[in-house]
Structure formats: C-alpha cells, structure tokens
A and B are shown apart, each in its own frame.
Chain A
C-alpha cells in the first residue's frame, strides 16, 4: 500500500482540498498565500498520482502473472521465460515499477494485448475524445437544466414551482442513467423514430446519451445553485441593488447569480467523477466508442496494458480537474488559502 510514501517531510499542510479548520491564519500578502497554497496543492496532487500508480501497478500484478494471458496455453517453460523477458516481467518488482512509471510519464503503456499491433495509448487516445464529447455535452445539458431551475426555485422559495423544480432534479438523480438511456431509446428511437438508436455520428446521436447522463447531475448543480442563490438574495448588496431601483430580473440574473455561481463551480470535480461511472454504463447502452466500451472489452480480454493506461490517465484527469478547481476557488475565496476551509 502506498501510505508509507503518503507524506514525507512535509510541514504542517493546510490539508486536503477543502475541509480544514482550526489553524491560525498568518498575516501574509495575497500573493504569498496563493503561491504557498498552489505549491501545497501541487505536492498533494503528485502524491495522489504516485499512490494511484502504485495501486494500479500492484493490482495488475496480483491478478496472477500477466504471462499466462500473453502466452498460449501449450507454451513451454522456455517460451514463458522468453515472453517474460520480452515484457520485462523477469526483473525485480521495483525495477518493473520504475520502468512502468517512466514509460507512463511518456504516455507509453505498452502494446495492447488484445488488439495486436496497436499500442494501448493509441486505443485510449482514440476513445478519450469521444467520451469527453459525451461528458461535455452531458455537462452542458446539466447546467442548462440546473441553473434556471435552481434560480427560479430560490426566487419562488416554498411555492409549488419550487417543489416541481426540486422534484425534476430529484427524479433525475434517482433514475439509473443506463435505464433512462434504454427507456429514451424505446420512446424516441423505437416508438417515435425521431433519433438514432445508437452509435456515433452526427449531432442527433449524442442527444439521447447526453440527456440520460446530464439529467443525473442536475440535482447536485440545482441544489447548490438554489442554496447559494438563497444566501446571496439575503445579502446587503442585493437589497441595495433593489433599493437603487434595479429591475428585479437584473437583480436576480445578473447581480445575484454572478456570486451564487461560485459554489457550484466546486462541484465540477465531483461531477467529473460521477460522469465517468455514467459514461461507462451509457456507452455500453448506446454503443458509443469511448473509454467505457474500451474499458469493458479490455477488462474482459484481460488486456492489462489498456486497463492500466485508462485508470492512470483518468485519475490524472480527475486530479488535474480538482487541482484547477481548488486553485480557482482559493483565488476567488481567500478563506480557503488561509486554511479556513470551504464555506
């Protein structure tokens, strides 16, 4: 396990991305504190990546020797040794690990075991843009649904409109995305014939999987938007804007929403995590040629080089997203820098 590498020679850190309290704030300038915060967060991100790489490396090795998958069933001792030497499995573990990390840093995860003649990275590289496209569109659907619902719910707090808004959001959160996908296909492709059943093609192909995936995250975005809006609508500057005679729609959609948009920003990291699960299941439903499909075929074929590459690349992506979100957040909200924790 990676914990021994977990924390070496650090000064007291203001803690993991967020919820930390109780350390006295030093009087420092904005730039100092920002730099310090970024350096600490970068350091933590690198540690997390090292941890991930160790987990992936060990996991693949404890599955039993990959040689068994690589070599044909009737291979002799000599053959096995040759295969082991070819793939570097005869070296000591630490050496294998160093080699593995070195190659991974150059985005080289070795040749694919299942698809002969293709490198794992080229397979992953072909799949990732497709998945990003799907996830991006889903995120768009999600925000487009969530922000108006959240704002209107906050403004009309306690009315039936608020209840309906909450119900729409909650419903999305309760529908299994893969099932929603199937039902959407049943309704819009099979019965109505409006949209294609599956596969990747023009814009019409992305609508159904995008909605199925996007609706799921609406609740999370909408709740945060709503509560943030409620907070902001109570604040002095909103009252002031009203007193000044600013039209109500401007107060709500411009003055208030601008500040209420900060908390939902932090969700992007979490949503990215949720999206991957959804992407994997929905890609199987819609035969979307992304990482989900690739992961399933590779896992079933025990194509470890592809699986390793996928897990590491996606982790790196998560870590980067969270890092960027945290830094942005610290930039916007100074309390985070001083170790005050998020809201």
Chain B
C-alpha cells in the first residue's frame, strides 16, 4: 500500500497528478456525502411534487408489483417498480425523503433546544437545578424508550407530531449532559467573572456569553445525531409506531415489503438502501464537521 501512495510512484503514472488532486480534495472536503445527501434526501424533500412521477398514495391497480425497470418485466414509467397496490416506489421514496427530513429536523430542534437549555441551567445554576435535571437525565437514559414510544403511540394519535415528540424525548438528554459538562468549565472562566462584575444578569451571562461557546458542540452533536434520528424514525415506522401506513415513509415501506421478500425483493431492499445512504453520508458529514469545527470533540 505504501508503494501506491508514495508521491514518487504516483508521479510516474500519467494523469496521476490530477487523480491525486481529486483524491486530496475528496479527502479534505465531504463532497461525496454531500452529493449523496442532496440526491437522496434534500432535493427530493424540497421538490417532491415536481419530481415524483406518480402520486405517492393513490396506486394504479393495473400496475401492481412491477419489478424495477432494469429487470425482466420492468416498466420505465415505474423506474424502481411498484408495490402491491400499484403505487410507484420511486414516488413514495421521494415523498418519504420529505417525511424523513421533516421528522428529523423537527425532532432535533425540539430535543436539542430542550436539552441544551436544561444543560445550561444545570451547569450554570448548579445545586438543586443540577441535581433535579441530572436525575431526570438518569431516568431518561434508563427508560427503554422504544417501549415507551410504543405505549405513547397507542395513547396519542400516531402521526408526524407524535413521532417527533417521541424522538425528541429520546434525544434531549445527550444535549443536557454534554452542554452541562462544558458549562461547568466555562463558568469558572475569567470572561464570565468579568461579565458579572460589569453587572450582567445571570440570564445575559448564560445566553450572551456562555451559549455562544457551547454552540459548536450543539451543532456537531446535532449533525452527528441526524443519522441516528433517521434510523429511529424508520425503526418506529417499521414497528407501526411512527408514521401511519398510507403516508410515505421509508420505514413503513420496508415493513410493507417484508412479507414479499421472496417474490418482490425491491419493495424492502430499495427504501432500505435510501436509509442506508442517507445515514452513512450524514455520519460522514458529521465526522467531518466535528473535526472541522472543533477537533476536541472527538469524544462525541
């Protein structure tokens, strides 16, 4: 391996310099993950109505269980095939991307804000606040939340809002812990003492002086979690505790195709690939962002 990567060896191969530049560029910037995310998640989510060739919910019963277009019996008007109700897989995947993006953004926002605020309060005010919030974190971390999620969905109407709430409930404690730990160090620093001497109120110190210093952490944590959140949403939908069936969601599609795996593999396999590529790219992007913004956060 050392032979192929040494500069001298590369220089001897024609065109290798360009390949070398491209390689360096690819290593330095997360081009491929971003491209994959744009194609699989962002563009479909934003322009679902414009790109989707068919309606995601109303099927054409005469075009049931069509295989993907490149296989025997496929039809190019259904590029990735169709399901048992004659719904176009591609269209459902495109609208599913919107569901995934919406649910994960909303859940991250809710969970991130609640967790960060609690972390700030626990770290800055300490004493009782700290004890109470940290015990809540303990409880949150010790509950089998997937089971609670199942219960919650029976309690409330299953749907996007419930899914967001359940996922946010699973997320907040990470932020609370991490933010609190950083605030504990930050609040001992000189700039906080000076702000206090200058007459700044506690609220002002927390939000004006401390929050900007933990912001990178919050952003990195959020990026690193997007992948997990998408997986979680998919798992919940798969179990029937997330997005309710007629709506397009990747997890639901995998679940619906499960019983047809022997005869119609594409029903499950293709939406699963979308989940995989999205999560993989998101994880790579998160790693890159962490190293770029703050290499000290390696532990996250």
User: Chain A interface (Cβ within 8 Å of chain B)?
Assistant: 2-3, 6-7, 10, 12-13, 15-22, 44, 47-49, 51-52, 55, 59, 62-63, 159-161, 170-171, 173-180, 182-183, 185-186, 190, 227, 273, 276-277, 280-281, 284-285, 295-296, 299-300, 302, 307, 310-311, 314-315, 318-319, 322, 341, 343
Which residues of chain A come closer than 8 Å to B102, judged between CB atoms? none
**B155 CB contact (under 8 Å) in A20, A63, A173, A300:** A63
Which residues of chain A come closer than 8 Å to B238, judged between CB atoms? 176, 178, 281, 284
Contact A6–B136 (Cβ < 8 Å): yes
Contact A318–B272 (Cβ < 8 Å): no
* B residues 11-52 touching A (CB-CB < 8 Å): none
The answer to whether the Cβ of B262 comes within 8 Å of any Cβ in the partner chain is yes
Contact A307–B138 (Cβ < 8 Å): no
Determine the residue in chain B with the shortest Cβ distance to A10: B131
Residue among A15, A174, A276, A341 with the most chain B CB within 10 A? A174
User: Chain B interface (Cβ within 8 Å of chain A)?
Assistant: 1-2, 5, 127-128, 130-132, 134-139, 141-148, 150-152, 154-155, 177-178, 180-181, 184-185, 188, 227, 231-232, 234-235, 238-239, 251, 254, 257-258, 261-262, 265, 268-269, 272, 275-277, 279-280, 283-284, 298-299
Interface of A is mostly: helix
A311 to B128, CA, bound (A): 28
Contact B1–A160 (Cβ < 8 Å): yes
Q: Would you give 28 A-B contacts (Cβ < 8 Å), ordered by A?
A: A3-B136, A6-B131, A6-B132, A7-B131, A7-B132, A7-B135, A16-B135, A16-B138, A18-B177, A20-B181, A20-B184, A22-B188, A44-B138, A51-B136, A161-B1, A170-B280, A170-B283, A173-B283, A178-B235, A178-B238, A182-B268, A182-B269, A183-B269, A183-B272, A186-B268, A227-B298, A284-B238, A311-B143
Residue among A6, A173, A178 with the most chain B CB within 10 A? A178
Given known A182-B254, A295-B150, contact A170–B261 (CB-CB < 8 A): no
A174 to B231, CA, bound (A): 8
Closest-CB distance, B267 to chain A (whole angstroms) = 10
**B299 CB contact (under 8 Å) in A2, A22, A49, A343:** A343
Interface of B is mostly: helix
Contact A174–B185 (Cβ < 8 Å): no
Which residues of chain B come closer than 8 Å to A47, judged between CB atoms? 135, 138
Determine the residue in chain B with the shortest Cβ distance to A308: B151
Closest-CB distance, A63 to chain B (whole angstroms) = 5
Which residues of chain B come closer than 8 Å to A343, judged between CB atoms? 299
Given known A6-B132, A161-B1, A175-B276, contact A48–B151 (CB-CB < 8 A): no
Contact B272–A63 (Cβ < 8 Å): no
Closest-CB distance, A319 to chain B (whole angstroms) = 5
